[in-house]
Structure 1
Amino acid sequence: MAGFHVMADARGMHVQPTVRHITTSDLWDALRLGAEDFWAKPSHYVFLCLIYPIVGLILTWWTSGANAIQLIYPLMSGFALVGPFAAIGLYEISRRRELGMNTSWRHAFDVRRSPAVPSIVVIGIMLVALFLLWLYTAQSIYTGLFGDQPPASIGSFVREVLTTGKGWILILAGNAAGFVFAVVVLATTVIAFPLLLDRDVGAVSAIETSARAVMTNPLQMALWGLMVAVLLVIGSIPLFAGLAVVMPVLGHATWHLYRRVVEPERAQQIRRPM
């Protein structure tokens, strides 16, 4: 395939976009602008994002029927790990709205025409792999504490988790492991996908730029990660229905966060051939 590239840009170069210092107000501005993008045509975005609560309900039903009740919480929290990839169409909508282009929900699928699709897919596969590794880790922690026998019911599982020493170890160890996975995803993809849609810099530069954004703004990015986590929890509590609003708002907000973190294209530097 002519022009096919993944790790570097179309010229085979490793581009290093310039990263800005941001403030807490930039985070709130990104959320505000994300909400504005959503409310501009909410019916379109709710329709597009209903897949998230539907998938959540299906996963809950599946784990209950498959004697995998202990994986309900890891599956719910795991949405945050694949969220940056799942929201790719929303970044495209925000990009088009910023340029004054048509923002019909159908254009969310225009991502497939982006020259950066191979890089986007590679990073997406990385996130899916991390999600599966997280589920394996969560199951391993449970098995190490409670053995191979699955919980008899959701009620008995909740009681065992909240009223026994092993249960509290499960809570602490599981959340500690989840925190590590969340930090890895945040550090590698916080602005990777919007950057690839905006500029075809390659997967390596996209991940590296995300990492530099986090290192340049550690407190702000930690707060951003906390804001995302809290909003996802709020959206998941009412049978995942709130995700139909939370996910698109966060997706649009991530685009605007990218705009605040990364300098315009003229400021980027070409470092070396790949």
Structure 2
Amino acid sequence: MASSHILVGASEHAAAPTVRSISPGDLADALEAGWHDFSAMPSHAVFLCVIYPVIGILAAALTLGYAFVPLLFPAAAGFALLGPVAALGLYELSRRREAGLEPSATDAFEVLRSPSLGAIVALGLMLAVIFLAWMATANAIYTTYFGYGSPASISQFVHDLFFTRAGWSLIVVGNIVGLVFAIGAYLISAVSFPLLLDRDVGAAGAMLTSLRVIVKNPTTMALWGLIVAALLIIGTIPLFLGLAVVLPVLGHATWHLYRKAVVADQSPRAEFLPRPPGKHYAAQFPVSLFKRSED
């Protein structure tokens, strides 16, 4: 049944992936390998991720309406919850390069033909629900301390946030609650999406494996979470443009971290499929506007 495949993958009786112990040195190795992937495929990675700085700038512009200013930081922080979904194409490029193939930008879209696509969509929807729940919670926390009215101006909001008791209460409570949401999302998605691209283990198997990786390596994985958060903050400077480098490097590095932390040899492998003849993707623009002679 389709629902069974989404949950448990191609085989209900396959052995669970083996989880390794990893060290901070492995994190450094993963980041170095991620940088090498980015260096080898910079145009592809930037193409996939340049949209996110644009989205960030547009989001900032839209929130200049004072009613939405209090949600600017929760929205920016909450988008990190969706990062594993945004990096799917990068995992696929790293997977192909590791296998000795010559990846192209269009290979990132091979995710859409993955045997685990149903599980990937299900897990992505779960992260989207967590993000929406976080936004609703952040808004409720704000209204608890400041009511339903909008700030009179951005400067007034900044003053109220940093120079009033309610503002500091909002900062402390908001960050604590946000951390809870971030930990929840991290537990189920730390290595889930790379695993689903590599092996047809189902959403339940991927989430359980991600949880096992963190339980087996709590200090190292906590450090990885801090590294990711720090790099994302750095990437927002200036005007989110740094994310065009930070996001692809982290995406590639996450693939290599998965490979260090998980051995899934007994699970059904997601084989590389031949590309359908004559098919073009947006990443090939403007070449895709013209029919090639060999198509």
TM-score by length of 1: 0.94
Counterpart in 2 of 1:96? 96
Query: What 5-or-longer segments of structure 2 have no aligned partner?
Result: 269-295
Partner of 1:39: 39
Check the 8 A contact 1:14/1:205 in 2, yes or no.
Answer: no
**Cα deviation digits, residues 5-49 of structure 1 (max 9, x gap):** 200112344641010000110011111101110111212211211
More RCO (CA 8 Å, sep 6+): 1
**Partner AA of 1:158 in structure 2:** V
Correspondence for 2:215:
215
Aligned to 2:265: 265
Map 1:1-274 → 2, pairs under 5 A: 5-13=5-13, 15-65=15-65, 67-266=67-266
Query: What do the CA deviations read for 1:106-133 (whole angstroms, capped 9, x no partner)?
Result: 1100100100000000000000110111
Identity %: 53
Distance 1:259 1:11 in 2: 21
Q: How many residues align structurally? A: 268
The answer to whether the Cα contact below 8 Å between 2:11 and 2:201 also exists between their aligned partners in 1 is no
Q: Shift of the alpha carbon at 1:62?
A: 1.7
Letter of the structure 2 residue corresponding to residue 263 of structure 1:
V
| 2:199–2:264 CA contact under 8 A, matched in 1 | no
One-letter identity of the residue aligned with 2:255: W
Q: One-letter code of the match for 1:217? A: N
Q: Alignment partner of 2:209: what SS?
A: helix
Unaligned runs of 5+ in 1: 270-274
Deviations 1:60-91 (A, max 9, x none): 12222372100100111112100011111100
What is the one-letter code of the residue matched to 1:147? G
Q: Secondary structure at the match of 1:16?
A: coil
Q: Secondary structure at the match of 1:7?
A: helix
Distance (Å, rounded) in 1 between the aligned partners of 2:110 and 2:48: 14
1:34 and 1:250 in contact (8 A); partners too: yes
Amino acid at match of 1:206: A
Cα separation, 2, equivalents of 1:216 and 1:109: 33
Alignment correspondent of 1:272: none
Mapped contact 1:15–1:201 kept (Cα < 8 A): no
Whether the aligned pair in 2 keeps the contact of 1:14 and 1:202 (CA below 8 Å) is no
Bigger mean CA deviation after superposition, 77-86 or 140-149: 77-86
Query: For the structure 1 residues 80 and 15, does the alpha-carbon distance in structure 2 shift closer, same or farther, using more than 3 Å as the test?
Result: farther
Deviation at 1:104, TM superposition (A): 1.1
Instruction: State the alpha-carbon separation in 2 of the partners of residues 219 and 256 from structure 1.
Output: 18
Shift of 1:194: 0.3
CA contact (8 A) 2:66 2:152 kept: no
**How much is the aligned-residue C-alpha RMSD, in angstroms?**
1.7
Alpha-carbon spacing, 1:240–1:188, altered in 2? closer, same or farther (3 Å): same
User: How far off its partner does 1:209 sit?
Assistant: 0.2
After superposition, the Cα gap between the structure-2 partners of 1:15 and 1:86, relative to the gap in structure 1 and judged at 3 Å, is farther
Per the alignment, in what secondary structure is the counterpart of residue 82 of structure 1? helix
- In the alignment, the residues of structure 1 paired with residue 173 and residue 119 of structure 2 have an alpha-carbon distance, to the nearest angstrom, of 34
Secondary structure (helix, strand or coil) at the match of 2:5 reads coil
